Every structure is written in C-alpha cells, then in structure tokens.
A and B are shown apart, each in its own frame.
Chain A
Amino acid sequence: MRDISDAADLMATAREALLGELLPALPEDRRYVARMIANVMAIAAREHRLGFDAAQSEAARLRNLLDGIGRPVAPSADPLRADLAPLRAAVRDAIRAGTFDPPQRADALNAALSHTAADWVTISNPKVLRSEAATPNR
C-alpha cells in the first residue's frame, strides 16, 4: 500500500517538521527536550522497520547457542512472537554456570551476542557502529 504513508514514514515526516519548523522557534533552554523527542522518533521509526527482524534473529541465535550446549528451549507457540524472555534467561543461567567458558563456546557466544547487540544498536544509535568502523583502535 504505497499510497498511504506507513508508520515509519509518518514518524520521519513528523520528525522533519519538529526539527525544521518547531525547533528554531523554541527558546534555547527548551531545545534540548525537542532534540530528545526527535531522537525518540528516529528510534521508533527504525524499530518499526527493523525491530521484528532483530527480535527474530536474536531468538534464532539464542536457540542455536542453547542447542549447541544441549539445552534446547521449546519453540514458541506463536511463530510471530519471538518469545525472547525464556531464551535470554536460559542463556544467562548457562553463562553463570560456566557452560560457555571453554574457548570454542566462548567465541561462539561472543560472536552471536555481538551480532545481536549490533542489530539493536542499529535501531537505538546507529552512529556508534559507524564510528566504530572509522576508528578500529582505541
């Protein structure tokens, strides 16, 4: 349905109006709040576009890790819901128990969690990933 703006496009358009028309008219001490609102709108628009896939991918990676240590978690009854909470809790418990300490498992865990974190950072603050790429060293 391209003739009706989707939620992400509505949000982006509203954000442009906030930054382009309202912000310049605000006194200096109120602009901080306006910038925070603009930031929230950008996050919400990105989450609308990318959030479903990020949650599904995270669930798949966590399932894969749990299968790898012989602790599978039963799949969610509703295929449209990623049901992350029990998966995250099961991985937490295995981490605390030291199950991921052996180097090979540690590497697999770190790689999977890094992918997931990068997916969520792409939604919450993508410039972190861009500056990371630009400055490989500390």
Chain B
Amino acid sequence: MHGTLPDNAMETSAATAIERWLCTQMHTNDVRVTRYERMPGGAIQDNYTLDVEIANGPWRGPHAFVLRTDAPSSVAASLTRAQEFAVLRAAYAAGVAAPKPLFLCRQPDIIGREFFIMERLPGIAPGHRLTREAGLVPDAHALAHALGANLARIHAIRPPIAELDVLAPPAENPALGAVAEYRAYLDRLDDAYPALEWGLRWCERHATLPPAVVLVHRDYRTGNYLVHAGRLTGVLDWEFAAWGDPREDLGWFTARCWRFAGVDREGGGIAPLDPFLRGYESVAGWRISRADLDYWQLVAHIRWAVIALQQAQRHLGGGERSLELALTGRIVHELEYEVLQLIARSAA
C-alpha cells in the first residue's frame, strides 16, 4: 500500500482488507488503495472516499470510488446495503442519473460491516450552497427540468422486477400505509404530538389511491443530488427506496422544508415549480394536480418530523450523543407549524 493516507490503524487495516477483496472482484493481483477516508456528513450511512490504482487486468488504471456502509446506529426504516445496491442497479440500468454501482460485499469480516462500492461522480450536493450560490446553477430552470425528468425515469420502474424482490411488497394504499407507520412510531414515544396527529388525521381522511405503484426514491430532494458545471450528475442516498406512490416523491422534492435558502422557489429551492413539473411530464406523460401536490407536501412535512424525532431519540436515548442529532429534534416545531399552515390553506 503506497501513499495511503488513512491516519488511524483501523482505517489502514480496512484499506489493506479492501485491497485483497478487490483483487478477486476485479480479476487482478495488484490493487493499491491510494486514498481511503471518511466523507463528512451522513447521519445514517458512512461513506468513504476510495481511490485505487489497478496494475493489470480489465480494470487497469486509476479509479475514483465511494465505499458505502452502515453507520454505527441507523434508522430502522432504511434498506440494508444489499437492498440498496439492488435498487441502485435497477435505477442505473433504467437510465437514471445515479452513481454506477460496482461491487457488493456481504461478508462482514472484510471491514466489519456490509458495504458496496460505486463510482464517485463529480459535483456539489449541499442544499444550502446550491440554493444560495447562483454561480453553481447558472441555468436553474434547466436543472429543475432535468431533476423532474430524472425522477420520472425512477418512477418508470414498476413491479414486478425479479432483482427488486428484496423490497417489501407495496401497500395497497401507500398514503394510508404511511399514516399507520407514522402513528405507530409516535406511539413509541413518551410524549404526544397533537399537531402531527392532526396532520395524520387530515391525511387519513383525504387519502386517495396511487395513479400507479412505482419505485419511489423517498429522499429525492435538494441536498441529495450532485451538480457539476451546472448539470445534474447523479442522485444519491437510495436507502429509503420502496414501492409506492409517485406523488410522494413529488411532494417531498417540492416541500417547503427542503428548499434551503430558496423557500420561495417551489422547485426544490432551485427554480419555480413549473420547469420541474414540465421535466417530469416530458418523461412520465402526466402532471400532478395542485391539490395532490399540497397533500403530499403535507405528508412530506409529517414524515420529516417523524424522522427528526427518531434522530433526536438516537441522541436522547444515549446511544449516540450528538449536537447535530439534538438540533434536528428542534426542527420538529417548524415542521408542525408548516403542517398546520398547509391544512389551513387547503381548508380555505
């Protein structure tokens, strides 16, 4: 191992184990890890920058990879690495802009946990930057259009697909399924949350059947895709993917809570709503109604509040004391406030 940078013994031994494992995967006898370091962020998954040099064989040359594995404690609702790898393969094969998945390791003894390796795409992801620094997104309408079209390509993936048997079968009515799931979670907490309960009751009373059951990403939003030279290079973080209602992703992407510095730009804080929906329609052939979008934006705020409560619980439960997780708990108030605003607006 030459020029390796990991400065602690554990990462050094992991890099050595990865080199050995990759030799068999890449049909070569000489893999050198030239860089292996943890990427910042990732409350649920651990991602590592992984650069390798291959001396011979079909993969000869330098490669820029990402190694993705579970964080020490994770949210129960997320997929295993093997499931996420299967989803990413299906999406990549369907022409979705996403990192190409390469190798899955289900043996826990290589680095201590399951992991997979994917190509590392260029680009910038942080939502607060993409919604604030105009130079990063010179043509916001074009980016929003591409994001809409790309989402529709994910939604074109429909059951049954043999490789995606790893996913749970779809709920008959995903909206009601979500209501039941979030209520069950709230019931596990000591305190009650009347605003979220009222939002859930509203969703329960206004739920409609999905136009189709499709592959939904369930975290498709600004902050989870890469933009390079103003263009979309790939969508990240597939750990929540499932069979579901395509309107859920549309509500999540456009919800106020995911617009960062661009709260008045409904297209993910990037652009107005219209170019995003036009991009979606250009591939999907249909457009969501205003009422349905309002409904699923409401679901989005409730879901984010439930996830925020889960993250705060990881901190409060003592398993993982963290300033970031503790602060995430505090955003529940503003999500509750938005839920109530959305209900008031839809009743008016």
Assess whether B343 is in contact with A125, with CB atoms less than 8 Å apart: no
User: A43 near B: Cβ within 8 Å?
Assistant: yes
Shortest beta-carbon distance from A36 to chain B in Å = 5
Assess whether A109 is in contact with B330, with CB atoms less than 8 Å apart: no
Closest to B201 in A: A95
Shortest beta-carbon distance from B343 to chain A in Å = 6
Assess whether A92 is in contact with B194, with CB atoms less than 8 Å apart: yes
Shortest beta-carbon distance from B43 to chain A in Å = 13
Closest to B195 in A: A113
A37–B256 Cα distance when bound, in Å, is 25
- A91: chain B residues within 8 A (beta carbon): 192, 194, 197
Shortest beta-carbon distance from A114 to chain B in Å = 4
Shortest beta-carbon distance from B235 to chain A in Å = 24
- B341: chain A residues within 8 A (beta carbon): 114, 132
- A25: chain B residues within 8 A (beta carbon): none
User: A88 near B: Cβ within 8 Å?
Assistant: yes
- B288: chain A residues within 8 A (beta carbon): none
User: A74 near B: Cβ within 8 Å?
Assistant: no
A35–B336 Cα distance when bound, in Å, is 24
A114-138, CB under 8 A of B: which get 1 and which 0? 1011101101110011011001011
- A101: chain B residues within 8 A (beta carbon): 201, 205
Assess whether B195 is in contact with A85, with CB atoms less than 8 Å apart: no
Q: With A39-B327, A95-B201, A100-B198 in contact, is A114–B340 under 8 Å at CB?
A: yes
Mark out the residues of chain B between 269 and 313 whose CB falls within 8 Å of any chain A CB in the assembled complex: none
- B205: chain A residues within 8 A (beta carbon): 101
User: B193 near A: Cβ within 8 Å?
Assistant: yes
Assess whether A88 is in contact with B264, with CB atoms less than 8 Å apart: no
Most chain A CB within a 10 A radius of its CB, from B266, B323, B330: B330
Main secondary structure, interface of B, reads helix
A123–B205 Cα distance when bound, in Å, is 32
Assess whether B197 is in contact with A96, with CB atoms less than 8 Å apart: yes
- B344: chain A residues within 8 A (beta carbon): 110, 114
Assess whether B198 is in contact with A117, with CB atoms less than 8 Å apart: no
A78-107, CB under 8 A of B: which get 1 and which 0? 000000110011011001101011010011
A129–B333 Cα distance when bound, in Å, is 11
Closest to B194 in A: A91
Closest to A33 in B: B323
- A110: chain B residues within 8 A (beta carbon): 198, 340, 343-344, 347
Tally of chain A residues near chain B (CB < 8 A)? 41
User: B172 near A: Cβ within 8 Å?
Assistant: no
Shortest beta-carbon distance from A62 to chain B in Å = 7
Closest to A137 in B: B264
A120–B337 Cα distance when bound, in Å, is 9
A33–B183 Cα distance when bound, in Å, is 33
Q: With A110-B347, A132-B341 in contact, is A40–B327 under 8 Å at CB?
A: yes
Assess whether B331 is in contact with A92, with CB atoms less than 8 Å apart: no
Assess whether A125 is in contact with B333, with CB atoms less than 8 Å apart: yes
User: B104 near A: Cβ within 8 Å?
Assistant: no
User: B133 near A: Cβ within 8 Å?
Assistant: no
B317-335, CB under 8 A of A: which get 1 and which 0? 0000001101100110110
Assess whether B340 is in contact with A117, with CB atoms less than 8 Å apart: yes
A29–B330 Cα distance when bound, in Å, is 23
Interface residues of B (CB under 8 A from A): 40, 183, 190-195, 197-198, 201, 205, 256, 263-264, 266, 323-324, 326-327, 330-331, 333-334, 336-337, 340-341, 343-344, 347
- Those 3 A-B pairs whose CB atoms lie nearest each other, nearest first: A117-B337, A88-B192, A92-B192
Interface residues of A (CB under 8 A from B): 29, 33, 36-37, 39-40, 43, 62, 84-85, 88-89, 91-92, 95-96, 98, 100-101, 103, 106-107, 109-110, 113-114, 116-118, 120-121, 123-125, 128-129, 131-132, 135, 137-138
Q: Could you name 11 residue pairs across A and B whose Cβ atoms are closer than 8 Å?
A: A40-B327, A43-B330, A88-B193, A88-B194, A92-B194, A109-B198, A114-B340, A116-B195, A121-B334, A129-B337, A132-B341
